[in-house]
Amino acid sequence: MFWWLAGGTALLYVGALVPLAFLGGQPRVVFQGIAFVTCSVFAAVVAGVAIVRSRGAERRWRLLLSSGLASAVGGSIDWMITWLVADRSSVTLDAADLVYLVPPLLASLGLLSIPIRPAEGSAEQRAPPLDHEEGRHAAAVVVALDSLMIVVSMFLIAWVAVLENVTASGLSGWPFALALAIPLSGMLLIVVAVLLMTFRRPCNGRSMGLVTASLVLFAVSETALIFLAAGGPFEVDDTALYWIGTVLAPPLLALAMVVPPGPARRRPARPGRGGGEDRSLLVHAYLPYLPLGVAALLVVVPAARGQALQGITLQLSIVLVTLVTIRQLITVAQNTRLMASLRATQRGLRHQALHDPLTGLANRALFTAEVDHAVDAHRASGRPLVVLFCDLDDFKTVNDTLGHGAGDELLRAVAGRLRGAVRAQDLTARLGGDEFAVLMRDPSDDPRATGDATARHIREAMSPAFQVHGQRRDLQASVGVAVADAGTPVASTEDLLHRADQAMYAAKNRLRHPGFHPALSASRLGLPRFLHRRTPGASAPW
C-alpha cells in the first residue's frame, strides 16, 4: 500500500506545483488555495487510516503528530477565507494565532513517543570502551556537547534567517511575541527530531526521515510567513514560494505514518566496505554536524562579503566555536585512548596466537618461526644455536587415572620447572601434548657442552615428585639435543629439528630399554642402516 500512496503523492505534487508556473493573478491565487486544501485533506485521510490500523505506542505517536495535519487542514481553510473571500493583501498576527503553537507542542511529545531500538550504546560508542564507569561519564559529556551544538546551531540559523529581522521590524505586543514563537517552535521540532535520530535511533528510520523532512518544510514555510507579516502589504499571487512548504509537508508526514521499516537483514557487505550497520553508525556520528555546517555558511558567507559580525550573531558564533573546540579536544583524547586500547588488544591477540593457552609458553608456530630466524643467522654468519626436544614419560598414565584436569595441572607444573632450568634468554615452548622444546641462541663458546648441561638441568628439574590433585607422581623427561655450529652446520630448519627429534626418541628408548642400541631401533623401524649412526650435531641422548 505504501508504494501506491507514494506514487499518488508524487502525482499530487506534480499536479499542485506545475500549474503555478503557468498561472498568474486571481487564477493563481485560486489554484494555490485548491492545492493547499487538497494536499492537507489527502494527508489527513492517509494519517487517519494509519492511526486506525496501529496499536499502542505506534498509535500514540501518530495521534500526536497528526495534530500538525489537523492544523494544516484548518490553515488551508483559513487561507481560502483570508485570500479568496476577504481579499486581504497582508498578514497580521494576533492573540487568536496562539492556537498555531499547540500542534508543535503535541508534535514534540509525538516525537518523544516514537519507538526506539534497544539501547546499543550509540552514544557510548563516542566514548572509549576502556572503563565502564569512565566511559559512561565520557558518553554523557559527549551527548551534552552534541546536543548543545545542535541547539545553538539551530538557534543561530533561526536568528540569521528571520529572528534578527523580526526584532528590527518594529513589531510589538502579541504580533512580536508570535513572530518569535512560531519560528522557534518549528526550530524546536527540528532539534528534537535531530537529537532523536542521533542519540535514540528510532526503530523505523525511514519513517523518522520523512517526519524530519516534513518538519523542515513546515518550519521553512512558517518562517516565510513571518517575513510576510513583518514586510507590510504584498501581492498575494507572488506568495507561492512562501506557501509551498505547507503544500508539500502534510503528505510527507502522512507517508511517514504508513512507510514500513527497512529490511532487518541486509546483503553482506562487499570486501573493503562497511556493512549497513557501519553506515548507520557513520550517519549517527556525523548528523550533529549537519546544522553546524548550515549555521557556519550563514555566518561565513556574509563575513566573506565584508559584513561585520555583531550582536547576538557574534555571541552565538563564539559559543558555537567554543563548543566545537571542546568537542574536538574530547575527540582527540578519545582517539588517543582508543589507539592505546587497540594496541593493547593487538598485543594480547598476538600473544594468544603465539603462545600456548595452558602453560603460557611459546607455541609451535612461534617456536618454528624463531628457529627459522636463528637458522638463517647461523647460515649467514655461523652463529651457533642449540635446540632441545623434551618429552614426558608416562604422562598418559596421569591423564588416564586422574583425568584431564590433573593432566593440565601437571603440564603447568612442568612448564614452570622447565622455565627455571634454562636461561632467561632461552625460548621455551610447548609443541603439543606432553612435548616441549627449548631454543638456545648464543650458547657460549661451547654449544655442545651448553646444550648437554641444559639437558641435564631439565632432567634434574623433573626428578622431584609432582603433587597432582593431592597425589605424588614421578615423571621422567627424555631430552634430545641438536647443535648447529661451525663443526656441525645445518642446511635448514627441518634438518635441525629432525636431529633434535631423533636424539629425543633415542633418549626415550634408552630410558625404557637400558640395553637399547640405535642400530636395533633403526632395524625395527625399517629405517636405512646409516641412521643408526650418531646423527651429526646430535648429542648423546640424556
Q: Are residues 77 and 126 in the same domain?
A: yes
Say if CB 378 and CB 490 are below 8 A apart: yes
Cα–Cα dist 121/272, whole Å = 25
Q: Are residues 325 and 398 in the same domain?
A: no
In the numeric block, which cell numbers belong to residue 372? 627459522
For residue 511, give the CATH number of its domain: 3.30.70.270
pLDDT over threshold 80, residue 472? yes
pLDDT of residue 369: 94
Side chain identity at 464, as an amino acid letter?
P
Asked, for residue 209, whether it belongs to a domain, the answer is yes
End-to-end CA distance of the chain: 84
Residue with cell 550517519: 283
If one counts the domains in the chain, the total is: 2
Say if CB 451 and CB 441 are below 8 A apart: no
Going by pLDDT thresholds of 50, 70 and 90, the confidence category of residue 521 is very low
H helices within 54-131, ranges in order? 56-80, 102-113
Cα–Cα dist 283/194, whole Å = 11
Asked, for residue 275, whether it belongs to a domain, the answer is no
Going by pLDDT thresholds of 50, 70 and 90, the confidence category of residue 526 is very low
pLDDT over threshold 60, residue 458? yes
Q: Domain residues for 301?
A: 2-260+283-341
Q: Which of 478, 490, 511 is nearest to 386 (CA)?
A: 490
Q: Are residues 242 and 381 in the same domain?
A: no
Q: Are residues 471 and 337 in the same domain?
A: no
User: Between these two residues, 48 and 527, which has the higher pLDDT value?
Assistant: 48
pLDDT of residue 386: 94
Asked, for residue 233, whether it belongs to a domain, the answer is yes
In percent, the amount of the chain with pLDDT more than 70 equals 80
Asked, for residue 141, whether it belongs to a domain, the answer is yes
User: Between these two residues, 288 and 152, which has the higher pLDDT value?
Assistant: 152
pLDDT of residue 503: 92
Say if CB 223 and CB 161 are below 8 A apart: yes
Is residue 142 classed exposed, middle or buried when 0-12, 13-18 and 19+ CB atoms within 10 A define those classes? buried
User: Between these two residues, 87 and 146, which has the higher pLDDT value?
Assistant: 146
Q: Measure Cα distances from 517 to 499, 508, 524 in Å.
A: 17, 12, 11
Max avg pLDDT among 171-185, 310-324, 369-383: 369-383
Q: Are residues 408 and 312 in the same domain?
A: no
What tens digit of pLDDT does each residue of 488-517 get?
Answer: 888 889 999 999 999 998 888 877 665 545
Long-range contacts of 404-409, Cβ-Cβ distance < 8 Å, separation of 24 or more: 405/469, 406/468, 406/469, 408/358, 409/468, 409/469
What tens digit of pLDDT does each residue of 89-107 get?
Answer: 556 666 667 777 888 888 8
pLDDT over threshold 60, residue 159? yes
Q: Are residues 369 and 323 in the same domain?
A: no
pLDDT of residue 479: 93
Cα–Cα dist 43/201, whole Å = 26
Asked, for residue 356, whether it belongs to a domain, the answer is no
DSSP string, 153-207: HHHHHHIIIIIHHHHTTT--HHHHHHHHHHHHHHHHHHHHHHHIIIII-BS-HHH
Cα–Cα dist 145/153, whole Å = 12
Q: Are residues 309 and 384 in the same domain?
A: no
Cα–Cα dist 41/72, whole Å = 9
Q: Are residues 73 and 197 in the same domain?
A: yes
Q: What is the pTM of this model?
A: 0.57
What tens digit of pLDDT does each residue of 102-144 get?
Answer: 888 888 888 888 888 765 444 444 444 445 556 667 777 777 8
Q: Are residues 441 and 292 in the same domain?
A: no
Please give the torsion angle defined by the CA atoms of residues 328, 331, 335 and 336, in that order, rounded to the nearest 10 degrees: 70
What tens digit of pLDDT does each residue of 259-305 get?
Answer: 888 765 454 445 445 555 556 666 667 777 888 888 888 888 888 88
Cα–Cα dist 403/405, whole Å = 5
In the numeric block, which cell numbers belong to residue 98? 496562539
Asked, for residue 276, whether it belongs to a domain, the answer is no
What tens digit of pLDDT does each residue of 10-65 get?
Answer: 898 888 888 877 777 777 778 888 888 888 999 999 999 999 998 888 899 999 98
Q: Which of 361, 397, 531 is nearest to 473 (CA)?
A: 397
Asked, for residue 158, whether it belongs to a domain, the answer is yes
Q: Are residues 320 and 193 in the same domain?
A: yes
Q: Measure Cα distances from 301 to 160, 293, 525 in Å.
A: 12, 12, 90
Mean pLDDT of the 482-492 span: 88
Q: Are residues 294 and 406 in the same domain?
A: no
Lowest mean per-residue pLDDT among 196-210, 218-232, 366-380, 514-528: 514-528
Asked, for residue 163, whether it belongs to a domain, the answer is yes
Q: Are residues 414 and 298 in the same domain?
A: no
Cα–Cα dist 354/348, whole Å = 10
pLDDT of residue 134: 60
The H or E element that residue 476 is part of is strand 476-484
